[in-house]
Amino acid sequence: MCLAIPGKIIELDDTTQSATVDYGSGTKRKANVSLVEVKKGDYVLVHAGFAIQVLDEKEAQETLALFREMLSQGER
Amino acid sequence: MFSLRDKRLADDIISQIAKARVRLRFMHVCGTHQDTLVKHGLDCLLRRCGVEIGQGPGCPVCVTTPKEIEEILLLAKQGKTVATFGDMTRVPGVSSSLQQIKAEGCDVRTVYSIEDALVLAEKQKELEVVFMAVGFETTAPTTASVLVREPPMNFSVLCCHRLIPPALQAILRMGEIHLDGFIEPGHVSTIIGTTPYEFISKEYHVPQVIAGFEPLDLLMGVWMLVRQIQQGVTEVENEYVRAVKPEGNVKAQQLLMHVFEPVDVRWRGFPVIPLSGLQLRGNYAIYDARRKYEDELQILTDEDVAEPTGCLCGEVLRGLISSKQCPLFGRQCTPENPVGPCMVSSEGSCHIEYLYSKK
């Protein structure tokens, strides 16, 4: 139920608060973006047809490095 | 896009958890977490390191009460067009499910989003469309988003939304099981942020980690809980920083509280949990199916709607037993012929156990 799928906003219509989200592998679908502040190119989490949060691309890219750093602190 | 499935890092995390030499029991409250744990065999790996993880009441379809199922069945039988999410249509009521009564001619529509139900009501004004709104804080803002747009009067909502933090508190207050920590649901937390969990760590001294849904997210979440326990601290940590901000989604929270107010509700397998449900506020009560069809629904009471005979979904949802400990599991109760909702929903622990475990 609380499943949310990450995707990239490739088209945005501010008047209808609707976006086309690319989920990769050719899957594209409309999503309502009224719950978030977004711009074209943002990555969002989509749940039940609504974007519920903007994903932080920088945080995502740094996640593995962060994990390694935390583990090394744990070993001390 | 992005996946956290690096085997070497997974081995490193597992080895650090093993080195801690602990015997701990954690609970998560999310079907997607359960899916990741069982699908990737993490539950077995962690058990070997002394960490047991069970799924609590973290499946909206599973915690929907027998009375709520009977309410929607009754409305469908009385000629309303019922729209809801896929899993909900297969949950058995006392004598049938939405799927079964659809085969008998009732108008039951499976929708991907509440917006699909709204479009149906807008296009076919002759239909009385009732959307059965299930889901936690992740889903409730989507219902709110539609209701603030003033949908047509042939559209209403049977509100079954529930809130996660009061359920966590109920588990601890009931004291039926000992828990050493909670893994908190990532997508609920994208909406509510980190603050609503803090009272649990303060009042009950239970560590909590908000985790994402990739295998490494969960392993890290477990390791962070183990680390808190080793360091003697109990706080709310956020592993899922790429999606969960400390303040959550403020716009969604404001919309949710504008449309809904918290109320005391039952959860399947639980007594009434204070302020754990949502009902429509006064301005939106015209869309409340329970109010709109009050006369038709008044024949149902809590007392005359019982759990299915022999079904232990309540015990599974309270973390008292694992799915396999239910005598019906895999015998009378299978995904093809489910007795209880935990075997129906793709987020239910029985369904997930059946899907991935060796038969």
Q: Please give the ipTM for the structure prediction.
A: 0.91
Give every strand in the sheet of B236-238, ordered side by side. Answer: B51-55, B24-28, B181-185, B208-211, B236-238
**pLDDT at residue number A70:** 81
B14: Cβ contacts below 8 Å, ≥ 6 apart: B45, B46, B49, B219
Residues of B in contact with A16 (CB under 8 A): none
Q: How confident is the model at residue B306 (pLDDT cuts 50, 70, 90)?
A: confident
Closest CA to B85 of B344, B318, B280, B325: B344
Mutate to test the interface with A, among B161, B190, B245 (most CBs of A within 10 A): B190
What pLDDT digit, counting tens, does each position of B204-223 carry? 999 999 999 999 999 999 99
Q: Å from B303 to nearest chain A CA?
A: 28
pLDDT at residue A74 greater than cutoff 70: no
Query: Which candidate from A35, A50, A68 shows the least CB-CB separation from B9?
Result: A68
Instruction: Tally Cβ neighbours within 10 Å of residue B3.
Output: 8
* Element containing residue A7 per DSSP (H, E): strand A5-13
User: Domain extents for chain A?
Assistant: 5-75
pLDDT at residue B228 greater than cutoff 70: yes
What distances in angstroms separate CA B265 from CA A3, B58, B248, one per listed residue? 24, 16, 25
Q: Residue B5: inside a domain, yes or no?
A: no
Q: Residue B199: inside a domain, yes or no?
A: no
What pLDDT digit, counting tens, does each position of B90-132 carry? 999 988 999 999 999 999 999 999 999 999 999 999 999 999 9
The chain B residue lying nearest A55, using CA atoms, is B243
Q: How confident is the model at residue B252 (pLDDT cuts 50, 70, 90)?
A: very high
**pLDDT at residue number B95:** 83
Which CB contacts under 8 angstroms, 24+ apart, belong to B193-198?
Answer: B193/B244, B193/B245, B193/B246, B193/B247, B193/B248, B193/B249, B194/B236, B194/B238, B194/B244, B194/B246, B194/B248, B195/B246, B195/B247, B195/B248, B196/B165, B197/B165, B197/B168, B197/B236, B198/B235, B198/B236
**pLDDT at residue number B215:** 95
CB contact under 8 A, B185 and A45: no
CA B268 – CA B162 distance, rounded (Å): 12
CB contact under 8 A, A4 and B6: no
**pLDDT at residue number B359:** 53
What pLDDT digit, counting tens, does each position of B72-100 carry? 999 999 999 999 999 999 999 988 999 99
Mutate to test the interface with A, among B164, B229, B242 (most CBs of A within 10 A): B242
pLDDT at residue A76 greater than cutoff 80: no
pLDDT at residue A75 greater than cutoff 80: no
**pLDDT at residue number B343:** 96
- Average pLDDT (B183-207) is 97
Residues of A in contact with B145 (CB under 8 A): 32, 34-35, 50
CB contact under 8 A, B135 and A60: no
What is the rounded average pLDDT for all residues in chain B? 95
Closest CA to B208 of B165, B161, B176: B165
**pLDDT at residue number A35:** 97
**CB proximity A2 to B under 8 Å:** yes
CB contact under 8 A, A34 and B223: no
**CB proximity B2 to A under 8 Å:** yes
List, as ranges, residues 5-64 from B with C-beta within 8 Å of A. 6, 9, 12-13, 16, 30-32, 59-61
**pLDDT at residue number B308:** 86
CB contact under 8 A, B190 and A52: yes
pLDDT at residue B309 greater than cutoff 90: no
Q: How confident is the model at residue B357 (pLDDT cuts 50, 70, 90)?
A: confident
CA B27 – CA B269 distance, rounded (Å): 16
**pLDDT at residue number A51:** 97
Q: What is the pTM of this model?
A: 0.95
pLDDT at residue B133 greater than cutoff 90: yes
CB contact under 8 A, A1 and B61: yes
**pLDDT at residue number A3:** 80
List, as ranges, residues 79-108 from B with C-beta within 8 Å of A. 85, 87
Q: How confident is the model at residue A69 (pLDDT cuts 50, 70, 90)?
A: confident
Closest CA to A60 of B217, B14, B10, B252: B217
Q: Which fold has domain A5-75?
A: SH3 type barrels. (2.30.30)
Query: Which candidate from B16, B112, B223 shows the least CB-CB separation from A48?
Result: B112
What pLDDT digit, counting tens, does each position of B168-186 carry? 999 999 999 999 999 999 9
Q: Which residue has the tokens 């754990």?
A: B276
What is the domain count for chain B?
1
Residues of B in contact with A47 (CB under 8 A): 138-139, 142, 187
User: What's the domain range around B267?
Assistant: 63-163+249-297
- Average pLDDT (B215-234) is 97
CB contact under 8 A, A2 and B116: no
Residues of B in contact with A70 (CB under 8 A): 220, 224
Hey, what are B134's tokens?
């299930």
What pLDDT digit, counting tens, does each position of A11-56 carry? 999 999 999 999 988 899 999 999 999 999 999 999 999 999 999 8
Q: How confident is the model at residue A1 (pLDDT cuts 50, 70, 90)?
A: low
CA B40 – CA A64 distance, rounded (Å): 19
CB contact under 8 A, A2 and B135: yes
**pLDDT at residue number B279:** 98
Closest CA to B165 of B140, B141, B182: B182
CB contact under 8 A, A47 and B4: no
- Average pLDDT (B334-357) is 94
Q: Residue B303: inside a domain, yes or no?
A: no
Q: Which amino acid is at A54?
A: V
